Structure formats: C-alpha cells, structure tokens
Chains A and B, each alone.
Chain A
Amino acid sequence: MRVTVTVNGTTESHEVETRMLLVHYLRDVRGLTGTNIGCDTTSCGACTVLLDGESVKSCTVLAAQADGAEITTIEGMAAPDGTYHPIQAAFHEHHALQCGFCTPGMVMAVASFLKEHPHPSEHEVREGLEGNLCRCTGYHNIVQAVLAAAGAEELVR
C-alpha cells in the first residue's frame, strides 16, 4: 500500500508492505536510523517518536497508521544549524546518557511529557518516563535533565 508521511518536515510517498511497522519505515525506508529498536514487546521505549506531537512507540504503530501524519524523530529535534533542542542540551549538560542507545526514545518521550507537564515534580518525571528503559544511568541524571529542561523551556517562553 502507499503511505504519505511527513517526517521532520519532509513529506514523502512510498509503497510499503501492509505489515510494515512505523519504526522499520523510519529506519529502512526513510533512512532515519536514530530511532532504535530495543525490544519486541513495546516495553523499552527506545523507538519512541512523536506522531502528530504525541509520543508513540513506533514498534507498535503500523506505517499505514501514520499515513497523512506528521512524525518527529530525534533527527528533527535540533535546529537546522545543529543547535540542540533544550532537552538535548539538558541531557548533555547533566550527563543523562552513557551508551546513548535509549537516548533518542528517551528525548522524544520527554518532549511529549513536558508538553503535558510543563512544571513537573521529580515524582511526575519518574512516572512519566516509566515506559522508557535505560540500563546505564540509573535514571538519576535523566531526571535531573528533565527537571532542568522544564526550567529552560519556561525561560524560553
């Protein structure tokens, strides 16, 4: 079947298998390999992207379901000149990544979470990121980065 999807502001049309998952579409058809696959049970969140502004695990969405939608992946977060998005900047500043495999999904989940919770408590941050696993950081610095990014976004406004 044919799908037309806008990814990071660029719209393309492609013929895909009906069973193709959005994550495979992004990685194999669109060549955006920043979105990672860490499990096969929708548990780890490494594949999290924004679909029409809301975070989804792209291993659990068919490419067909994204037809006509706007997708944002990690590659679309920084400004065109490479300037970090405030969330990326906070992750860097607070050493919120080590191996970096969960990071793209984590950053996208945070983007969606902060939109819904612009002034979160630490507890809310931890609850909000429950669907994204990290094996390196023990989450301590991720939580710090999210709290800092919340402040930064407020400053931007």
Chain B
Amino acid sequence: MSAAVMEGAAGVVGTRMRRREDAALLSGEARFVHDLVVPGALHMAVVRSPYAHARITSVDVSAALGMPGVVAAFSGADLAGEWASAMPCVWPVTADMQSPPHFPLAVAEACYAGDAVAVVVAGTLAEAQDAAGAVAVGYEELPAAVDLEDAASDRFLAHGDAPTNRAYTWELVPDPEAVRRAFEDAAVTLRARYVQQRLIPSAMEPRGVCVVPHPFGGEYVVYSATQIPHILRTLLGMTAGIPEGRIRVVAPAVGGGFGSKLDVYAEELLCLALARRLRRPVRWSEERSEAAQATIHGRGQVQEIELAADADGRVRAVRVHLLADMGAYMQLVTPGVPILGAFLYHGVYDVAAYAFTCTGIFTNKTPTDAYRGAGRPEATYAIERAMDALARKLRVDPAELRRRNFIGADRFPYTSVAGLVFDSGNYEAALGAALELVDYDALREEQSKRRTEGATKLLGVGLSCYVEMCGLAPSRVLASLNYMAGGWETATVRMLPTGKVQVVTGASPQGQGHVTSWSMIVADKLGVSPEDVDVLHSDTGVSPVGLDTYGSRSLSVGGTAIALAADRLVEKARLLAAHRLEVAPEDLELSGGEFSVRGSPSSTVGLGALAFEAFSAHDLPEGMEPNLEASATFDPTNFTFPFGTHVAVVEVDTQTGRVDLVRYVAVDDCGNQINPLIVDGQVHGGIAQGVGQALYEGAVYDERGNLMTATFADYLVPAATELPGFTLGRTVTPSPSNPLGVKGIGEAGTIASTPAVVNAVVDALAHLGVEDIEMPLTPERVWRSIAAAAHEPGGDR
C-alpha cells in the first residue's frame, strides 16, 4: 500500500473490514424511493405507445379524468409549455451529430414501444393505473426501423422527418497509411463479425421518483433512484426551467444501477413538472415490465474487426468498424458509449497501426446508454474473440499467442497507438497467475482426452486478457472528446468538536460500499476508528457539489479527493499543534491521531483535542480560521488502466447444445486495494453480468419492434443455479494516476467474462469446425452451430 494511504500506524486500509452499510439493509430499515412515506403524494401512471413507430393522431384524456381518484391527466401537447429545452444529451460526439428532439412526452410521433405519450395523476397507484387504461390515444402505425443493419440502410426511417437514420460517424485513424501497409504486408489477416446483443440492465430495484414541492419557497425536493444526484439537479433545472439552486436531489438507498440510473429520465421531469403545476407531491414507481422498455438498454452493436499479423502471430494492425444502435433517441451519454471503447480495440497488445470507425444509427427501440463497462466490454469482446480466432488459424495455443503480443511490463507508461498513456501494467503476470490457478495444462489434457474418447460432453477453456480505461476522467481529455462536463470529484473532511468525523463526497453509491471504503481511508489518515467517520453523500442538500458514480471512478477520483482533503485537514491541525506545543510544524510527527514532537515523545496533542480548540477558537495562531475542516477537488491527469486475465471452463453437451460453466478463474489487478472484501464482491457480480450476456441475456424484438423479453420470465438474469463459485486471484500494480495508487474494479468482471465464456464454448467445439456462435449462447444456437459445422465442407475436422 502506498505511503499516502498508510501514513502513521498500521491501519484498516487493505483489510477485509465488514461493511458498515449492511445493518440497515439486513434489517429492512433502509429506505428506497418506493419506501418513502410522503403524506399527500399523488401517484403518476404513464401511458406508453404500444407501437414502435406511430404518428399520434389524437390524445383524449377526458374519460380518464372522470375516473375515481383522478386529479389530472395530460397529453404531450398539454405539457409542452413545461419544458425550457429538450431532454439532455451531454455528449455530442461530432459537430454534425443528429439528435432528434426528445421530450418527456411524445407529441406527434411515438418512436419506440414504450415511448411515453400521456400521464395520469391520482390519489392512489391503483387509481392512476386504472385511469391510464382509459386514456384514448389515436395512432397511425408507421414502418419501424428495428434491425440495426437494416436501419443503417435507411429502408425505414426511425424518425419521420429525418433524412437518414445515421446519427454520426466517428473516426480514430491516427495513420491510415500505416494501417494500409500493415494489411498489405501481413503474412496472415483475419476478419470477423461479432454481434453485441442488446442487454436490459435489470438492477433489482426498478426506478422510482418522488418530487415534493416546498409550499412557500418555490423549491423542490426530488427523491430519485439515481446514480447521479448532482448531474441530475443541474439538468433537471435546465430542462424544466427551474434555477438549479431551488432543486435538491436526494438519492436514498438505491438498489443497483450498473449505468441504468445514470441518466435524466422522462419520469423525473414529469414528476417535477406535475409537482410544480399541481403544487402537490407527485411520485412514480416503475414496474419491472415497464422498466424493460422505459429504462435504457446496453450494448447493441455490430462489430467488424480485422487483424494483420506476422507469420508468428505478432499483430501489426487492428482495423475496426462498428455500427452502434442508439435506439430512438439520444439519452444522456448514448452517442459516447462506443467512443469509450474506441481506444481499446487493440486490447493488451502492442500494436503499431490502428483504425477505428463507428457509425451511430437510430432505430425504433428503447434508447441505449451506458451499461456496466460501457464500450469497453464491447472492445474487449472483439479483440479477445479475434485473438482466439487468430490462434486457431495459426495453430498456436491462445495463451502463447497472447504472450507474444503483450505490451511488456517494462514498457509502462505505455503510449498506445490510439493515443492513450496506459499508466501501469504487468499483463504477463496476471495471465501466468490465472493459468496456474486454473491448472491450464491439465485442462488441455482433459479436453483432448474427451475429444479422443468421443465424449458428448466436451470441455472448453476460454481466455480473456483485458485492460480498461477507468477513473473517468481528466477534464481536458473529456473536452477533447466533446463531452460537455468535467471528470473531477470533490470532498470535504471535517473533524467535529467531539473528535467525530464527517466526510462529504460527491460520489453517490448504489451498493458499492462507499461508506465503508471512505471511512477506512479517512480513519487511517486521522487515526480514528472507521465507526467514528460518518459519510454524507447522495443528497445535494448536504453535498452540493459532485459528479457522481459511474465508470469505476468513485475510488480513484472521489476517494482520492477524500484522501487529499484529509491530508489538508492534517496540515491545518499540524499548524495548530505546533502553536499549542510551541514547536515548528516540521518537528511534529503524526501517528495514530496524535502529534508528537520528534525527539520528545511525551510532548503530544491529539487531533480530537485540536478539533475542539479549532472549534472554540480561543487561541488560534494568527490568521488561522476556526474549525478543523478541509476540502479538495481532484481532477486526474490520466485515466487508470485496470487489467487482468479471466479463464472460463465450460462443458458443452453436443447432443443438446447445453453449456455448463463449470469453473471460473479471475485474476484482476486494480492497483492498491482499500478493502479486498469489497473488491471480491465487485468482481463476483461483474462476472455474473458478463456471463449473463454470454449465455442467457438478450433483448429480443419482433419485426414490428415489439419487445418480446419484457419480464424476468423472458429475460434471463442468471440465477444461482446458472453460475459456479468463482476462484479469484489478484496481482497488485499500483496506479501512478492518483496518490492512492488505485485503479477501479466496478466494471472489470463484466468486461472480462463475456469473451472468456464465449471463447470457452468455441474452444470446446472448434475441432468440429465451429468458429462463432452469436450471443446469448442458448442451447438451440449451440446445437445449430454444431449441426451446421458438420454439414459444411471442411467441417468435422
């Protein structure tokens, strides 16, 4: 652990301290938005388009208004005057990007099944829902652009008045000539097409909103199940035409997010506008089948990747073309999601020539946006699948091919062909540790034995070596990518007169254990118990400034801000201690929360006593302000680059196509760890979500754009039976990007596991001629792939 974290006595940082969040959650006392008791609150129900694409010819709310308990009902036209601007997209990735106006209620045209067209407000939820069914909406169905590649052809237009479905084309081609030459000179080339199916994020808590208007001040308290209370406050204010200082956003207990609560949603704006209009609290609780349509989806890409390599498998160039499904509208960062992966399609490999192009396409489907990993799982999937394909082509072991191509441990900081500076890494070490943990050679023997014996349960081993860019983000880099905000984070640490500590953070958790981790960092800095540190978060009333939680940024950016603020508090306390002990500040040492004079260890004063002196302010040094409190804002100068190797072991039943994930080994390197227990948990959950994409999950639409997987009966979130226990290992390569030396771990599992599992299944079947199976790898798809390979010339090799 770096000295910055561990100043003073051996502390709690680095230990598996049990979580402080658990008590409220285990006892049922935690309050999610849906649990809040708000006297007099009205319930909102949303009327949604059943058509993927339709002209709205009429909206008649009169019958609904006559139903029991109904207070109000509105069409999109009725509420058009409520909006100061369209709903926000803060990442216009190109200057000429198309972004159709998106309002909380559609007025003339519904552009996806689930697009909101009217609202009803009533005394109870049941009354609101009953009345929503009585709103009569006239639709004239229009042809829908559903399939991504078909939509790219502009056969049907997703928006009636747009000339094309193309939203933007974004390129990163540092040296086109180098790429052309590399492919010309290559001994081997490989071209593959992969489909990233759409995913439904499926946080266990659906969204919820409750807006309480202040009766006198014209102020609003917005309770929302959101990852981004601060960003939300600013954008709600801008969109609804309310000075942001009059909006307080509170994210109470939030039941998971994974990116799906990193957005500004129609229902948040509708509750706010209705509370303003009706001068009463208005609340909305999303139902699961509603969430499947009204909350963003993830992924949704068709990827083409080409490799140019020498005869020995050294990859010289990577060329990528993506089609990315935006869905019907640009949500908060929709267009930027593929760009977050754009720099990483060469993965952990030392590649000299690089070309990336992405075209964003509108379709008549739920908007896509950031989902756990956001762009980086897609990039890792493409390169790791392609590396396995190249290994097969060259008849080289996939682990050996990776070794030949790794960016060497002696090359860091490594400036990549795509222009990033990878902060630190040792890819060889992570691969080695993973292969040892899984006993790779023994697995290969077992695999070959089963093949020889003609077993119907074949064994497959899949590797995935990943690197991601995390710690979003240096504000200047974000500016260069046309992202409209910065990437800093802020914190305040204050020691109260009693010696208890408050930490105020702009990060906003949904289960990541921030309270535990932040209090561990501060406890070690100040020599107090973590129990004496309260963490204030997720409420713009107590933490007015922040940039919230996404992109594995909370520890590396937000945690660093906290550590810096604690350091500043200590420096102020040092001046006060020097004054009190009548020595020079530099003669003082801090250990276990006490300053002592070097060489005179009996002369001491504790931080707690200093906190009281700073509070009473009776005898402060000349010019020192009262109170022991300090703030810091950290804007990183670089991203962090977590990495690792995951290995999946599968059994594939060739008679039924069933895939069983029988073993899973993950070796991750997230730099220094504050709490390895929490790191483990993040890896476990991340793996499960990535396995979900590989084997089970997929948002399926019919040709008219109806979502066929709107419930958990159709959309298969993995259950305990679908997963094995996971074997975890770790290497520790501290990051130089921040003083804590941390990298982030929230997304790593999801990024690594999808290609590991698919590589394993293809590995099991490769000798039969199977090259690719489209995700999710359902038994039917696996079985059909085996059958098709057997009938192809060259099949059954």
Contact = CB atoms under 8 A, between A and B. Distances in A.
B712 interface: yes
Interface string A27-39: 1000111111111
Nearest to B35: A33
B573 to A, nearest CB: 34
A93 interface: yes
B203 A41 contact: no
Interface in B642-695: 677-678, 680-681, 684-689
Interface in B458-512: 510-512
Q: Kindly name the residue among A41, A99, A127 whose own CB sees the greatest number of chain B CB atoms within 10 A.
A: A99
Interface string A94-120: 010111111110010000000000000
A73 interface: yes
A152 interface: no
Contacts of A73: 28
A97 B15 CA distance: 18
A153 B254 CA distance: 32
Interface in A13-36: 17, 27, 31-36
Nearest to B691: A138
A36 B204 CA distance: 10
B32 A40 contact: no
A4 interface: no
A114 to B, nearest CB: 15
Contact of A99 (B510, B686, B711, B712): B510
A6 interface: no
Nearest to B512: A98
Interface string B24-51: 1111111110110100000000000000
B719 A34 contact: no
Contacts of A99: 25, 203-205, 253-256, 510-511
Interface in B508-545: 510-513
Interface in A37-62: 37-41, 43-44, 46
Nearest to A34: B28
Contact of A133 (B34, B35, B677, B717): B717
A59 to B, nearest CB: 10
B62 interface: no
Given A99-B256, A141-B684, A130 B721 contact: yes
B287 interface: yes
A138 B723 contact: yes
A139 B255 contact: no
Contacts of B689: 135, 138
B685 A138 contact: yes
B721 A126 contact: yes
A32 B204 contact: no
Q: Kindly name the residue among A17, A78, A127, A140 whose own CB sees the greatest number of chain B CB atoms within 10 A.
A: A140
Contact of B723 (A35, A131, A139): A139
Nearest to A136: B685
Nearest to A44: B712
B26 A88 contact: yes
A58 to B, nearest CB: 13
A34 B723 contact: no
Contact of A134 (B204, B254, B287): B204
A103 B25 contact: yes
A43 B712 CA distance: 6
B241 interface: no
B720 interface: yes
Contacts of A84: 26
A41 B713 contact: yes
Interface in B246-280: 253-256, 258
B414 interface: no
Interface in B186-204: 202-204
Contacts of B206: 38
Contacts of A136: 204, 256, 511, 681, 685
Contacts of A148: none
B288 A38 contact: yes
B719 A100 contact: no
B289 interface: yes
Contacts of B26: 74, 84, 88, 91-92, 97, 100, 103, 107
A46 B713 contact: no
A58 B173 CA distance: 56
Nearest to B28: A34
Nearest to B677: A95
Given A75-B28, A103-B25, A92 B289 contact: no
B171 interface: no
Contacts of B256: 98-99, 101, 135-136
B377 to A, nearest CB: 16
Given A93-B18, A141-B681, A39 B288 contact: yes
Nearest to A98: B511
Given A92-B19, A97-B22, A101-B256, A133 B204 contact: yes
B256 to A, nearest CB: 4
B21 interface: yes
Given A36-B205, A138-B723, A101 B688 contact: no
B530 to A, nearest CB: 15
A78 B713 contact: no
A71 B721 CA distance: 28
Given A33-B31, A130-B720, A139-B720, A100 B711 contact: no
A26 to B, nearest CB: 10
Given A98-B681, A136-B511, 13 more contacts: A34-B28, A38-B204, A40-B288, A41-B289, A88-B26, A98-B512, A101-B32, A101-B204, A127-B721, A133-B204, A134-B204, A135-B717, A141-B680
20 contacts: A31-B37, A32-B28, A33-B32, A37-B34, A38-B206, A40-B287, A74-B27, A75-B29, A92-B26, A95-B19, A100-B511, A101-B203, A104-B28, A126-B721, A129-B719, A133-B719, A138-B726, A139-B720, A141-B681, A143-B725
Interface of A: 17, 27, 31-41, 43-44, 46, 73-75, 77-78, 82, 84, 88, 91-93, 95, 97-104, 107, 122, 125-127, 129-143
Instruction: Please provide the 6 A-B residue pairs with the shortest distance between their CB atoms, ordered closest to farther.
Output: A34-B28, A100-B25, A99-B511, A101-B255, A138-B688, A43-B712
